[in-house]
């Protein structure tokens, strides 16, 4: 909604007023953060091996839920387009997990990568997830079925990120 900017640095996550540039709130101890599409929440991933993903209320700055269940360090998390779910990329156990933000419960685990999963994102319609891994591949997943649809090969090094185009027709990756 263009009211806020979220930034991550070595001293934590800060929420800024987009109009005047002033810091409004600070969230401690996390290395990655992003807004929900509806602008109500921020998801953050752990900066240590505490294996936590946290959901924060933007307005109050309060922690709403700590998602637990990943067996290792969480590299990345992102929201579904409807802001109802979070998908997380787990390092070291090579899995992807789908979480319900209302209950905090894990809904599904997607397995198939053979090395750390660095990044995950939903398609614009929320039907698919793309994952990027240190195994040099990207994978396309069917959210409802929890199954891998396709493996994309071509990178010769770790794939650091992968995202859908706004129309959902393309995926761009970085290695």
DSSP 3-state of 85 = strand
**Beta-bridge partners for 100:** 85
Average per-residue pLDDT for the chain = 90
Q: Is 153's pLDDT higher than 90?
A: yes
Q: What does the pLDDT read at residue 53?
A: 87
**Beta-bridge partners for 61:** none
Give the residue, 9 or 125, on which the prediction is more confident: 125
Alpha-carbon gap, residue 41 to 80, rounded angstroms: 12
Q: Is 66's pLDDT higher than 90?
A: no
Give the residue, 33 or 86, on which the prediction is more confident: 86
How confident is the model over 92-145, as pLDDT tens digits?
678 899 999 999 999 999 999 999 999 999 999 999 999 999 999 999 999 999
Quote the Cα angle for 113-174-77, to 5°. Answer: 60
Q: Are 108 and 100 in contact (CB under 8 A)?
A: no
Q: Is 30's pLDDT higher than 80?
A: no
Q: What does the pLDDT read at residue 90?
A: 79
Instruction: Please return the burial class of 157, using the count of CB atoms within 10 Å of its CB with bins 0-12, 13-18 and 19+.
Output: exposed
Q: What does the pLDDT read at residue 61?
A: 87
Percent of the chain at pLDDT > 70 equals: 92
Give the sheet arrangement for strand 117-122, strand by strand: 117-122, 128-133, 138-142, 147-152
How confident is the model over 36-64, as pLDDT tens digits?
999 999 998 875 556 678 899 998 888 89
Instruction: Please return the burial class of 131, using the count of CB atoms within 10 Å of its CB with bins 0-12, 13-18 and 19+.
Output: buried
Q: What is the mean predicted confidence (pLDDT) over 72-100?
A: 89
CA nearest neighbour of 47 among 59, 31, 34, 23: 31
């Amino acid at each position: 909604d263009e009211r806020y900017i979220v930034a991550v640095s070595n001293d934590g996550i800060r929420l800024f007023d987009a109009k005047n540039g002033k810091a409004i709130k600070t969230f401690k101890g996390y290395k990655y953060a992003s807004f929900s599409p509806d602008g109500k929440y921020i998801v953050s991933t752990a900066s240590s091996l505490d294996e936590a993903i946290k959901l924060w209320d933007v307005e109050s700055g309060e922690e709403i839920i700590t998602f637990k269940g990943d067996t290792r360090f969480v590299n990345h998390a992102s929201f579904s387009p409807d802001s109802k779910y979070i998908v997380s990329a787990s390092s070291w156990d090579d899995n992807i997990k789908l979480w319900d933000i209302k209950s905090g419960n894990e809904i599904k685990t997607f397995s198939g990568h053979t090395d750390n999963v660095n990044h995950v994102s939903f398609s614009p319609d929320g039907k698919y997830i793309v994952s990027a891994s240190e195994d040099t591949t990207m994978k396309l997943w069917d959210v409802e079925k929890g199954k891998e649809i396709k493996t994309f090969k071509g990178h010769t090094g770790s794939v650091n990120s992968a995202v859908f185009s706004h129309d959902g027709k393309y995926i761009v990756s970085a290695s």
